[in-house]
C-alpha cells in the first residue's frame, strides 16, 4: 500500500503537497485561534507539515494518516526536527474510512477529498471522528472562473468541467451539507507557482540522476509538456483553498 513512485519523485522537495506556502499555512493556524491541547486528526497528512508546525506554534496534539511510506517517514522526521514527536503521531495507512478512536477537536482532509469519493463523502468521514461543535478543515480545488471547454478542463487535470465548482458554488455546497464556512485561506497564483514549478526542478534533477530508470521516459514527457500546460491553463483557471466548517 503506497503511492506510485512518480508522486514522490515529483514532490520530493515539498513539505506541503498542495499549493499552500508556509506563510498561508501559518495564517490558517492563526485564523483558527488554536488552543494548546487541541486534538487534531489529519487524513492524507502527507509530509506532516501542518500537524508538526501547529504542534510547535500552537501546542496542538494529534495524528496524521497517509498512504505514502516516503511521506510518512518525512513526517516523523519533521516531528523530531521541530521537537514535537511527543505531541504528534504519523500512521502509514489508507485514510479512506479511517475513524479516530476518540473524538477530536479538529478533523482535516486538506487536498485529498478522493478519500471519501468527493467533498460530501469526505465531510461524512471526518464528522465520524469529530466531537460535537468541533472544527472541520477541507482543502479543495475550485474553478477561478467558468471553464470554456473540455480541453481546458482536461489540461487542469480534471475529467470534465463538472469535476469542480466555482468558489461561490463550493461555499454553497458546504451549506447544503449542513455546515457553516467559518474561515478560509485561498491559494493565489504565487503559491500555485511555488507548488507546481518546484516539481519541474525535482523532475529534472531526478532525471539527470536516473536516466536509465523505467520511469525516465514518463518523467521526460511530463517535464517537456507540463510548464506550458500549467501556465496556459491550470494557473489561470484552477483555484484551491482550505475551508473551515462547523456543523449547524
- Residues 122-146 have a mean pLDDT of 98
Nearest to 187 by CA among 138, 128, 127, 140: 140
pTM for the whole structure: 0.96
pLDDT in tens, 143-170: 999 999 999 999 999 999 999 999 999 9
pLDDT of res. 163: 95
State in Å, rounded, how far the first CA of the chain is from the last one. Answer: 37
* Residue 25 reports pLDDT greater than 90: yes
What is the CATH number that goes with domain 5-143+163-188+238-247?
Answer: 3.40.50.150
- Residues 4-18 have a mean pLDDT of 96
Domain coordinates in residue numbering, the chain = 5-143+163-188+238-247
Residue tagged 468558489 (cell numbers): 167
Residues sharing a CB contact under 8 Å with residue 27, sequence separation 6 or more, in sequence order: 185
pLDDT of res. 1: 79
- Residues 197-225 have a mean pLDDT of 98
pLDDT of res. 112: 95
Task: Tell me if 164 sits within 8 A of 233, measured CB to CB.
Answer: no
If pLDDT is split at 50, 70 and 90, which confidence band does 2 have?
Answer: confident
Amino acid at each position: 500500500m503506497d503511492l506510485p513512485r512518480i508522486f514522490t519523485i515529483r514532490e520530493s522537495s515539498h513539505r506541503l503537497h498542495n499549493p499552500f506556502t508556509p506563510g498561508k499555512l501559518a495564517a490558517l493556524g492563526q485564523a483558527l485561534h488554536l488552543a494548546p491541547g487541541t486534538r487534531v486528526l489529519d487524513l492524507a497528512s502527507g509530509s506532516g507539515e501542518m500537524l508538526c508546525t501547529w504542534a510547535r506554534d500552537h501546542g496542538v496534539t494529534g495524528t496524521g494518516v497517509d498512504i505514502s511510506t516516503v511521506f510518512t517517514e518525512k513526517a516523523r522526521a519533521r516531528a523530531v526536527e521541530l521537537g514535537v514527536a511527543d505531541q504528534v503521531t504519523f500512521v502509514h495507512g489508507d485514510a479512506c474510512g479511517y475513524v479516530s478512536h476518540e473524538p477530536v477537536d479538529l478533523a482535516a482532509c486538506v487536498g485529498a477529498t478522493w478519500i471519501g469519493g468527493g467533498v460530501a463523502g469526505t465531510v461524512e468521514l471526518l464528522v465520524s471522528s469529530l466531537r460535537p461543535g468541533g472544527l472541520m478543515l477541507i482543502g479543495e480545488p475550485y474553478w477561478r472562473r467558468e471553464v470554456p471547454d473540455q480541453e481546458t478542463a482536461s489540461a487542469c487535470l480534471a475529467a470534465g468541467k463538472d469535476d469542480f465548482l466555482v468558489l461561490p458554488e463550493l461555499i454553497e455546497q458546504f451549506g447544503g451539507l449542513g455546515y457553516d464556512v467559518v474561515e478560509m485561506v485561498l491559494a493565489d497564483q504565487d503559491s500555485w507557482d511555488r507548488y507546481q514549478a518546484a516539481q519541474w526542478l525535482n523532475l529534472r534533477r531526478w532525471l539527470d540522476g536516473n536516466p536509465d530508470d523505467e520511469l525516465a521516459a514518463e518523467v521526460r514527457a511530463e517535464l517537456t509538456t507540463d510548464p506550458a500546460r500549467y501556465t496556459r491553463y491550470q494557473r489561470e483557471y484552477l483555484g484551491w483553498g482550505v475551508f473551515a466548517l462547523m456543523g449547524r
